[in-house]
Structure 1
Amino acid sequence: MTRTRGLRRHARRMRRAGLQPMIVINSDDQLPDVIAVVLGRALWRYRSELAPFTLALILLITAVTLHVTHPGWWVAILIGTALSAWLLALAGHRVGLTLRAERLYAATVAFAAGGWLAAATALGVLYRPLPQLLFFATFVLGIPWWLHRRRRARVRVERQLAAWPDISQAIGLTGSRVQSAIVDLWGWRARVALARGQTIQDVTAKIPALESALGTYRGAVRVYPTTDDRANRCELRVLDIDPHADAIPWPGPSVTTITEPLDLGPFEDAAPAHVLILRRHLLIGGATGSGKSGGINVLIGNLSACRDVVIWAVDLKRGMELRPWASCIDRLATTPEQARALLRDAVAILEARADHLAATGRRVWEPSPKMPALIIIIDEYAELSDEAPEATGYTDSIARRGRAVAVQLIAATQRPTQKAMGKGAVRSQMDVRIAFRVRERRDVDLILGQGMLNAGWQAHSLDAPGKFLLSAPEHDVPRRARAFLLTDDMVRETANRHALSRPQLDEISRRAVEEAATLAATAHATENPREPEPATAQPEPKETPEATLWAMLKAAPPEGIPVPHLMNATGKSRRWVYYQLNGHATAGRAVQISRGRWRASDHTDHSP
């Protein structure tokens, strides 16, 4: 026995030195010890595969002992067996049996083992056909155990982690050790205790070496800080298969109100990427083709199902990206002039709501179907800064003052540099940030914030469109996710389904927009007086509602004039106004700029 312990100590020293231990037999007296060591090592290595035989041996020894000493205990054993099987079937998830099949298998094994033990205790292990039943049940019930994917994965992980001292020394993390490991659906994760002076940054830098040492595919290893934020601890995540290898179809809206966190897509552990955007501004960044448009579609698809949100949007690519959602977007700006007017009206709404809250003694605007939040989505924010630089003053005001009154920004851009985002405080006010794949490492800090790259937020390593990193107050650990995929047919179907249930702006906001439009129209008429009509033109009636409507359409600013303003000026109903507007549009004299806003067509020279 002393020689056996010595051999084991020698083998451990050899492994620490990075050498493969080799057993040398110097005499015949050492042969039994060597055989015992080799056999014990093999039994321990294959303990999982031998578990059914081990259980059968334990049952056999226990039955022999109980039959000799307490044969009358078979009744208690049978009762305990029934109770244990019942508890495993109903509450097995509390001991790690998450799947129903696993719980049923455990209950079956417990019932079979306990039933055989009770019979053998009462009758003896040699009573026919108890020996045959034990042998047959061991093999039959062992087959699911041997074939179980998670068990085989756990065994493989245990064997990998048994070699961790050699791996850590080979990659330059000598002294680190694995504290615990868990096998999940996609792979496994382990909590690693680092040696003195080592940090998570050291482990992150060794990821390629870790992938090589563990024998995984490229990009399979993740390193996260632990939940307790200890500097000498980290979590190692290893994927056997990539759960994000294929696009994930959108299952439909995950919310019905903006007060609930919406689901952007699954993380790598299948947990949903939930994020709350109420009273938060959101920044989306990523290279061309990285999936930004898909992420925006997921956002709009969820927001379209919310009855307490009004959506405005700016798409200076002439609506190429966002026009499919036009039926759910209350106002869509596709030109710099329209974008400028939209953001100006948003600031007017912001100020009107702030005045209302101050007058009523409240501090925040609580969204509801009658008092909805206002979400402004700006696709390619850099285009707005280039083509309408004065509009960035409005976005700066919204970013700084919009949270409390539920007027929020969602901005998407490729590289959110200070130049692209304007000279204001827009980027610094973004609470939620989504980083799709970027081309350069430095772009990670541009999107997510200074120092995030060194903290493990490696958006430059995302390897497929739609994969992203989510940074938010509730998501402070770099976890990869993949945005749901919305096809064109899904966008069209979702937009048509929710178009009729979209809310309107509240009375306070509508009044603010009308006043802002009136002021803008007055300023436009003062700065750009219209040329008198040619003498050959037909004189327009001055006192009829039709003439008043036409005059207002002709004098409307580029962003158009709201229908409620036309109703007030003509004294007619909404139905009458829309009837007249449709007639002008059919004749080519008028055009709808956005939802509820009209003006005279630029290419018409004739009056109605």
Structure 2
Amino acid sequence: MGEHDPEQQHEEHLKGGSSPSGLGAYILHRAKPHLPPWICVGGLGVAGGGANLMWSGSAGAAVGLTLASVALTGATWWAGKTTSQQRRLHSAITVAAGSAWLTGAALAGPLAGVLPDAFAMGGPVLALSWNIRMLMRRNPDATGQSADKGLLEKVGLAKAKIGRTEVEANRVTAALTLPAGEATNDDIARTLPRIASALDLPTTAVRYLPDPDSARRGDLVIVPRDMLADTVRWEENGPSHPGGSITDPLVIGVYDDGSPLLLWLPGDKNEGRNATHVLIAGMTGSGKGDGALNLMTEILSRTDAVMWLSDPKGFQDFRPLLPAIDWAVEGGPDTEVMVEAVKAVIPARTAWLGAHSYRQWEAAAAQKQTDPKHSCRKDGTACGCDGLPFHVAWFEEAGVSLGLLGDDAFNSIANLARSAGMALVVSLQRPSHDQISTTTRDALGARLCFGVPNATAAGFMLPDSVVDAGAAPERWSNRRPGYCYLITPGVPEERYSSPGRTRWFTDSALSLMETVAHWFARNGASVGHVTEKAAATVAGTAYTNRRSTAPADTDPDPESDGDDDEMTGTLIDPEDADIDPDRDLPESAPGDDTPMFGNPGGRKPSPEEARELFARALDEFEDAGQMVVGPKDFMDWCDRNSLSRPWVSARLKDAAMEGRLEPTSKTGRWRIVPALANA
């Protein structure tokens, strides 16, 4: 006969016939495991009667039986040292009671004195106690706890206690309590690699989440199967919520237990969630570019958000999405202008939100203002003003831009933009202090950290508490593209140390990306007159002509002969090789107003001529869309106009006093105030 499931057999017995033979067989089958203690009791009674026939009244037998009883009880206690304390004590008591009764029955007779009563009452009690123990032995929780205790003993935590245990589809969470005064949560963090080794799992599959209210309590989290190993293509699902609001969660991937990787940019007072900026970092080959595309396509599939983008790489990854981006620049002076425009836009947006009684941006702010509660009119009636969409300022490869602007260029933006319904996204490979200021980095509340080369680089992105809980992006390096950690408001802190993976963009995703971009161009939000006016006041034609000067979607002229690529040597005169182009030009010196040899036009102009020529130069720069200038930008202009150059720095300061220029965050760089705004 084949083997059957005991539970199935039990069910069959219950549902089967109730004939006497069948019922008796079932009772006998169920009673078999519990018969040994009763058989032992019966055998003890028979042995007592037989021993009495042999040793009744024998003094030598009395001594021998007594010594044998003591020896047997001691042997039982010694043999039970490898078992639990309860089993050891229970066994010793049973052997001592049985051997004592046998000794008395052998010497005085099994029916003498209290011996029959002791046998009739004590025997069933001992047998039933073992039956009860057998029933309690099948507790699955106790079995699991015993196994867990064995695991903790292996890693040096034998005294730790395991409390409630939650078992999910691919996640086990066990409450852990350490012995008071002997261990702390920091000790658990150091044992995580050994626990992973004992379970034969990757180190990142074991995390510890300390209780913030206790130094010796926390949750041990184990994810037995890595669900990130299978790469998910973005085009298989596309944007998570096309046509939705930016207040809905942005889904950029999955966690290792299969749950979605979520990110929010605006705040929500009802949820107690603050608005946030985002810092994206990871080494070359870690999947940072695909992670950025996941976030960008989510943003551009919502109807109440607009985006500005700076990308010194020439939109290598983002070109299919350009039709959906309100303003896109390639870096350099254009990025300087965008930074200054963002600074100007912040107070304009904040003023609009305050006038319409919004303490922070919310979805209703992007719609036409028909609610009297959000009216800018003093009489309290609905004002009907156009809405203010959420605004994302994205700086890709920000390390390049910060090298031009200075590492504190984003400080004021990062500190003020959240209150204006704006989010700053900064993406770079290594957010170290020599790349980005600590003030800016601390203000970027959300961190999307991909693989990094070492633990030092991980420390720039992840809080110490997350690293202590088991997060280690340096273990992936760039060997697992897309693997990441996400720290962001709205996500429980216990999730911070859980690895996730963003979706993969392939060549087949291009058509869907273009579809998203063109859909947004038709259905997405417009930037709004408040933001547009403030940006134009600062950026002038660089912003108002952004559509006509937008980067082309086509490749460079294929008929180009490439002569420029074949040029060799330097374009700098040897006598100018040591000049720092960012440094202010020297003050005027005697002889500057004398004609240059062979060039009578090279003279110091009169004050009236200087102002006219300099104003003409600023107009030329403004017409060309270059709204941030410095002394180096006037070198070619001075040579072209046969003018000496030492007076440029003085003219820059004069123009600033007249309101035509404004200083930027970088010393020696000036922002041109558009002529219309100045008027």
State the TM-score, normalized to the length of structure 1.
0.59
- What are the superposed Cα offsets for residues 571-608 of structure 1, whole Å, 9 maximum, x if unpaired? xxxxxxxxxxxxxxxxxxxxxxxxxxxxxxxxxxxxxx
The match for 1:465 is: 481
TM-superposed deviation, 1:461: 2.9
CA gap 1:291/1:494 in 2 versus in 1, 3 angstroms: same
Encode CA deviations 1:44-84: one digit per residue, 9 max, x unaligned: xx9x964333444566699989999xxxxxxxxxxxxxxxx
Counterpart of 1:298 (choices 294, 297, 307) is 294
Q: Please state how far the C-alpha of 1:430 moved relative to its aligned partner.
A: 1.2
The one of 512, 515, 519 equivalent to 1:496 is 515
2:172 counterpart of 1:172: no
Describe the superposition over 1:196-250 as per-residue Cα deviations: whole angstroms up to 9, x where unpaired. Answer: 3333332232223223323x23336412326786443333333443100121223
- CA distance 1:190–1:455, change in 2 (3 Å): closer
1:324 shift after superposition: 2.8
Contact 1:210–1:221 (8 Å) recurs in 2: no
Instruction: Give the distance between the partners of 1:355 and 1:200, measured in 2 at CA.
Output: 47
The worse-fitting range, judged by mean Cα deviation, of 360-369 and 269-278 is 360-369
Could you tell me how far apart the structure 1 residues matched to 2:259 and 2:18 are?
A: 44
Instruction: Answer whether contact 2:226 2:257 (CA < 8 A) is retained.
Output: no
Change in 2 beyond 3 A, CA 1:361/1:301: closer
| Contact preservation (8 Å) 1:328, 1:495 | no
Which amino acid counterpart does residue 283 of structure 1 have in structure 2? L
Q: Aligned residue for 1:53?
A: 9
Q: Aligned ranges for residues 500-579 of structure 1 at < 5 Å?
A: 500-518=522-540, 527=614, 529-530=616-617, 555-558=623-626
Bigger relative contact order, structure 1 or 2 (CA pairs below 8 A, ≥6 apart)? 2
Aligned to 1:385: 402
Distance 1:307 1:290, change over 3 A: same
Amino acid at match of 1:254: S
- Asked if the contact 2:192–2:470 (Cα under 8 Å) also holds between the matched residues in 1, the reply is no
Whole-Å separation in 2 of the counterparts to 1:364 and 1:526: 47
Residue 277 of structure 1 deviates from its aligned partner by 1.0
Q: Is the 8 A contact 2:446 2:489 kept in 1?
A: yes
Q: Are the equivalent residues in 1 in contact too, given 2:207–2:469 (CA < 8 A)? A: no
Separation in structure 2 between the aligned mates of residue 267 and residue 517 of structure 1, nearest angstrom: 42
Offset at residue 331 of structure 1 (A): 1.2
> Which residue in the other structure is 1:411 paired with?
426
* Residues 1:529 and 1:470: Cα distance change in structure 2 (over 3 Å): same
Q: Distance in 2 between matches of 1:514 and 1:206?
A: 58
> Cα deviations across residues 125-180 of structure 1 (Å, max 9, x unaligned)?
xxxxxxxxxxxxxxxxxxxxxxxxxxxxxx99996753333332221111123334
CA distance in 2, matches of 1:442, 1:63: 77
**Shift in alpha-carbon separation, 1:554–1:420, aligned structure 2, 3 A:** closer
Q: Distance in 2 between matches of 1:243 and 1:467?
A: 11
Query: What one-letter code is carried by the residue in structure 2 that aligns with 1:274?
Result: L
Separation (CA, whole Å) in 1 of partners of 2:612 and 2:396: 31
The separation in 2 between residues aligned to 1:469 and 1:64, in whole angstroms, is 67
The equivalent residue for 1:333 is 329
Give the 3-state SS of the residue equivalent to 2:162 in structure 1.
strand
1:444 counterpart = 2:429: no
Q: Single out whichever of 292-301 and 188-197 deviates more from structure 2.
A: 188-197
Q: What amino acid does structure 1 have at the position aligned with 2:196?
A: E
Name the aligned partner's letter for residue 318 of structure 1. Answer: G
> 2: CA distance between counterparts of 1:280 and 1:525?
47
Question: Contact conserved, 2:398 with 2:428, CA < 8 A, in 1?
Answer: yes
Residue 552 of structure 1 deviates from its aligned partner by 8.6
Cα distance in structure 2, aligned partners of 1:420 and 1:65: 87
Contact 1:341-1:559 at 8 Å conserved across structures: yes
Per-residue Cα deviation, 1:460-501 (whole angstroms, up to 9, x for no partner):
234621111111233312111111223243244233332332
1:341-381 deviations in whole A, cap 9, x for unaligned?
Answer: 11211122112122333444543344426421110111122
Aligned-residue offset at 1:530 = 4.8
Given the alignment of the two structures, is residue 271 of structure 1 paired with residue 227 of structure 2, yes or no?
A: no
| SS of alignment partner, residue 366 of structure 2 | coil
Distance 1:63 1:296 in 2: 74
Q: Alpha-carbon deviation of 1:332?
A: 1.2
Deviation at 1:407, TM superposition (A): 1.9
Change (3 A) 1:184 1:51: farther
Alpha-carbon separation, structure 2, partners of 1:289 and 1:156: 47
Q: 2:306 aligns with which of 289, 306, 310?
A: 310
Gapped runs of 5+ residues in structure 1? 1-45, 69-154, 532-550, 561-608
Give distance in 1, aligned partners of 2:482 and 2:141: 30
Residue aligning to 2:190: 205
* Aligned residues of 2:166 and 2:174 also touching (Cα < 8 A): yes
- Is 2:256–2:499's contact at 8 Å kept on the other side of the alignment? yes
Q: Flag the 1:166–1:227 CA change in 2: closer, same or farther, 3 A.
A: closer
What amino acid sits opposite 2:350 in the alignment?
A: A
2:442 aligns with 428
1:482 pairs with 2:478: no
Q: How far apart, CA to CA, are the structure 2 residues paired with 1:273 and 1:204?
A: 24
Q: Check whether the contact 1:434–1:470 (CA below 8 A) recurs between aligned residues.
A: yes
State the partner residue of 1:396.
411
Query: Counterpart of 1:40?
Result: none
AA aligned to 2:502 is: A
Distance in structure 1 (CA, Å) of the matches to 2:20 and 2:615: 107
Letter in 1 for 2:155: I
What percent of counterpart residues are identical? 22
Once residues 207 and 345 of structure 2 are traced to their aligned partners in structure 1, the CA distance between those partners, rounded to angstroms, is: 45
Q: Aligned match of 1:223 in 207, 227, 231?
A: 207
Contact 1:325–1:492 (CA<8 Å) still a contact in 2?
A: no
The alignment status of 1:320 with 2:337, answered yes or no, reads no
Separation (CA, whole Å) in 2 of partners of 1:212 and 1:354 = 54
Q: For residue 388 of structure 1, what is the amino acid of its counterpart? A: L
Report the secondary structure of 1:433's partner residue.
strand
Q: 1:305, 1:173 → 2: CA distance?
A: 50
1:589-600 matched pairs, under 5 angstroms: none
1:253 aligns with 2:239: yes
Equivalent-residue separation in structure 2 for 1:63 and 1:353 (angstroms) = 87
Shifted more, 233-242 versus 369-378: the winner is 233-242
Instruction: Give yes or no for contact 1:264–1:483 (8 Å, CA) kept in 2.
Output: yes
Cα 1:308–1:526 change in 2 (3 A) is: farther
Does structure 1 retain, via aligned residues, the 8 Å contact 2:294–2:503?
Answer: yes
- Counterpart of 1:431 in structure 2: which amino acid? G
Q: Secondary structure at the match of 1:217?
A: coil
Q: CA deviation at 1:296?
A: 0.7
465-474 or 193-202, which deviates more: 193-202
Residue 176 of structure 2 corresponds to 192
Distance 2:416 2:392 in 1: 14
- Per the TM alignment, residue 189 of structure 1 is displaced from its structure 2 partner at its CA by 3.8
Distance 2:449 2:145 in 1: 33
Return the offset for 1:286: 1.7
The CA deviation at 1:401 is 0.9
Q: Distance in 1 between matches of 2:175 and 2:340?
A: 52
Q: Compared with structure 1, are the counterparts of its residues 376 and 518 closer, same or farther at alpha carbon in structure 2 (3 Å cutoff)?
A: closer
What is the distance in 2 between the residues matched to 1:355 and 1:474? 27
CA distance in 1, matches of 2:289, 2:529: 33
For 1:55 and 1:179, locate their aligned partners in 2 and report how far apart those are by CA, in whole Å.
Answer: 34
